[in-house]
Structure 1
Amino acid sequence: MTKKILEPFVSIYKGPLGAGVDEVGRGPLAGDVVAAAVILDPAKPIAGLADSKKLSEKRREALFSEIQDKALAFCIARASVAEIDKINILQASLLAMTRAVEGLPTQPEHVWVDGNKIPKWRYAAEAIVKGDSRVQAISAASILAKVTRDRELVALHEQYPDYGFADHKGYPTAVHLAALEKHGITPHHRQSFGPVKKKIEQLDLF
């Protein structure tokens, strides 16, 4: 199965230290954007790697531990809410991915990046649309990033129970938008995002 997933890219890159990188959290109204980079160990295959969004929470949690146990190297990084508001969510996502790859204890010779944009960095890399479903190293990175961010939003729920962060993870659901309208914003909301910005303007906080 691994051979089939990687076949389209073998002619481009054949080195042993390829890293996959992915980010989670572009769409939410609250919380950091989290990225992860992973170099898998061919001698320690991990069954069931897939796009993190297509896995159950229980399966993601199990794979989260297995990836950390078996990977040659991994790093989880982020860009903060303040950075998102300062440089925009796309640039913040690229920044988080750069930090994840640069933070790997073993540096890769090549990087597979999920999506269609590559950060401005020193690494040989290729962008792969839907890479989290096509390249196992990216799948592993997507799982590490999503589990990490989901756990953080569950913890945020304990601090702000009126917003429902544990359920919607910061995404602009009807419940979240209603909570914004009723309770206002928290320090963890992205002030540059439309619904949050609108609420700030309503409160005349600009």
Structure 2
Amino acid sequence: MSPDLTQKSISFNSARFLTSASRLEECPPDHGAEVAFAGRSNAGKSSAINCITTNGKLARTSKTPGRTRLINFFSLNRENCRLVDLPGYGYAKVSRDMKDDWQKHLGHYLNDRRCLRGLVLVMDIRHPLTDFDQMMVEWCEHNKLPLMILATKADKLKFGQAKTAMMGIAKKLEAFQCLEHLVMFSATSKRGVEECREALTAWLETDG
């Protein structure tokens, strides 16, 4: 369905912390629209969210990757529109039981959250498509959930190297219909920020 033109346009600068949840029943009411950000710990997810919202303190960046174990919700200026920061994976020094519990509740959110409009998968352009990334891509394909990939830290490579890396990612994922946007991104240089905002806006302004 087309966007509702009677509502105010989304401003990502308006993002404010709303609440945290460790399980599905603690999440905000399941109506409106939200887009979730996922990524392996140290892929630059928090930096990407802070860059998109021009709020350097919105999503916590930590010297200890994987410290954030809660699902964090951020409100926007448009009613019932939210950005969601999902727990990072890969380097978190937590017990096996805690990690299993953590993954179970994240799975509940991804499987049962009806207002979820799309998933932004953040991956380091220098180390793309880890096992976690591949799992998330396949999950989106299976559930027909629109996917945007932010290939972060593009400033760490020369432009030619970055373009080659992007073509490699695109080729490996060409069979996945869920992939709607593949964005070369850098929180440092701001590359890809506007492209990402435009895609987020389209998802959030579309009725479910």
TM-score, structure 1 as length reference? 0.27
The structure richer in strand per residue is 2
TM-score, structure 2 as length reference? 0.27
Please identify the structure whose Cα radius of gyration is greater: 1
The structure richer in helix per residue is 1
